[in-house]
Amino acid sequence: MRTSRRLLISALTVIVLTVAAVPLLNFTVYTPARAAEAYIGALERGDANRAFSYLATPTPTSTLALSDEVLSAAPDLPREAEAETLSVDSDHAKVRLSYNLSSQEQTITVNMVRLPASAGLFDRWAIEQRDWPTLSLDVSGSSTATVNGYGVSTGKVPVLFPASYLVGFDATYLKSKSQRAEVTAPGDSSTVKLSPQPTAKLEETVKQQVNDHLKDCMTSKTLMPSGCVFGYDTDNEIIGDISWSLERSPQIGLTASGNDLELTPSTVEVRVKGRYRDIVTAAEHDLDEKLSFVLGGSVVVKSSQVSFEPRRLGDVSVM
């Protein structure tokens, strides 16, 4: 009986001492500055889930770039955090937060908010974010990109701050070199514009489309093949059908200029044959002419579909 009473007294004593120590611990340990430093520490370890516990923020529109995997694969993460509480006003506080990122010291001021107490006793502070930091991805010809090697949808992508990110894309028909971007504060937005470069698969697809286009043109029975960028002009009367043949195929290459893709200009040679009646003498002759022109055109990649629009550069020459 005495033992139970002693245990009860000891337990009550511990509780009383703990409760008495709470204000001191909240003042020295569970502070806004310590919470800000703990947030940076979680990022440094690549622990996105732990970092979330130090954020008071709206629900993100996407969580694809908010994972441990994306964070751990960052080219650089913050370290050596130091924070100082500047002011406390009821459940809100301001903290000066310093850290190193990409070999440079950064200093920002963050707003902190007090959360419901841990175990009903100890203060919990979190960085207040009214808007998520984002990477704004502008990618022509692709609806997806990669952040630190992981796939995301283009547009505004919520990310954790502060951190460095590698952004790129490698689709079937288009690819880009990766670009480095940094977000350094709550609500920060970094715009990354990626210019497309053709892949070998795209060049192969365009080559097939160009060859199919010219093949269709060769089936024409007229001097001006419909939908084709070449033809043969004469005042003489054509007798019957004429025939076309491809004498020299173009060398297929693609050139990227900003967001535009162009077929590299290349010389094409064709031959036209048939019979004609001379407009002056009315004599009939064989028609057999070799023509040359420079083929160009635009290439559009949209929703994984490739389209080629041919264009002739300059006049058609009779060889």
195 band by pLDDT with thresholds 50, 70 and 90: confident
Q: What percent of the chain has pLDDT over 70?
A: 87
Q: Which residue has the tokens 């889930």?
A: 49
200-318 maps to which CATH number?
3.10.450
Measured CA to CA, the distance from residue 160 to residue 316 in angstroms comes to 58
Classified as helix, coil or strand, 80 is strand
pLDDT of res. 174: 84
Span 29-50, average pLDDT: 92
pLDDT of res. 18: 44
User: Using one digit for the tens of pLDDT, what is the confidence trace for 77-107?
Assistant: 999 999 999 999 989 999 999 999 988 999 9
Backbone torsions φ then ψ of 235, nearest 5 degrees: -90, -10
Contact assessment for residue 154 and residue 136, using Cβ atoms and an 8 Å cutoff: no
Contact assessment for residue 268 and residue 294, using Cβ atoms and an 8 Å cutoff: yes
Contact assessment for residue 162 and residue 71, using Cβ atoms and an 8 Å cutoff: no
317 band by pLDDT with thresholds 50, 70 and 90: very high
pLDDT of res. 148: 95
Q: What is the mean pLDDT of the chain?
A: 87
Span 100-119, average pLDDT: 88
122 band by pLDDT with thresholds 50, 70 and 90: low
pLDDT of res. 258: 64
Highest mean pLDDT among 20-24, 188-192, 260-264: 188-192
Span 14-28, average pLDDT: 44
Partners of residue 233 on adjacent β-strands: none
pLDDT of res. 221: 95
pLDDT at 22 over 70: no
* H or E segment to which residue 144 belongs: strand 144-147
Span 151-174, average pLDDT: 92
Contact assessment for residue 251 and residue 263, using Cβ atoms and an 8 Å cutoff: no
DSSP symbols for 204-270: HHHHHHHHHHHHHHHT--SSS-TT-S-----SSEEEEEEEEEEEEPPPP-EEEETTEEEEPPEEEEE
Span 262-280, average pLDDT: 94
CA distances from residue 6 to 3, 12, 96 in whole angstroms, order as listed: 5, 10, 48
Q: Which residue has the higher pLDDT, 295 or 17?
A: 295
Domain 23-128 has CATH 3.10.450: yes
Least confident interval from 3-17, 77-91, 120-134, 161-175: 3-17
134-196 maps to which CATH number?
2.60.40.1120
Classified as helix, coil or strand, 185 is coil
Backbone torsions φ then ψ of 37, nearest 5 degrees: -65, -40
pLDDT of res. 120: 53
pLDDT of res. 222: 93
Q: What percent of the chain has pLDDT over 90?
A: 71
Contact assessment for residue 146 and residue 168, using Cβ atoms and an 8 Å cutoff: yes
For CATH 2.60.40.1120, the residue range(s) in the chain are: 134-196
pLDDT of res. 42: 96
Q: What is the pTM of this model?
A: 0.71
User: Using one digit for the tens of pLDDT, what is the confidence trace for 224-263?
Assistant: 999 999 999 999 999 989 999 999 999 999 987 766 789 9
- Nearest 5°: CA angle at 18, between 17 and 22? 120
pLDDT of res. 228: 95
Least confident interval from 165-179, 209-223, 228-242, 281-295: 165-179
For CATH 3.10.450, the residue range(s) in the chain are: 23-128, 200-318
Least confident interval from 12-16, 30-34, 146-150, 311-315: 12-16
CA distances from residue 137 to 48, 74, 194, 303 in whole angstroms, order as listed: 21, 17, 8, 17
Span 143-167, average pLDDT: 93
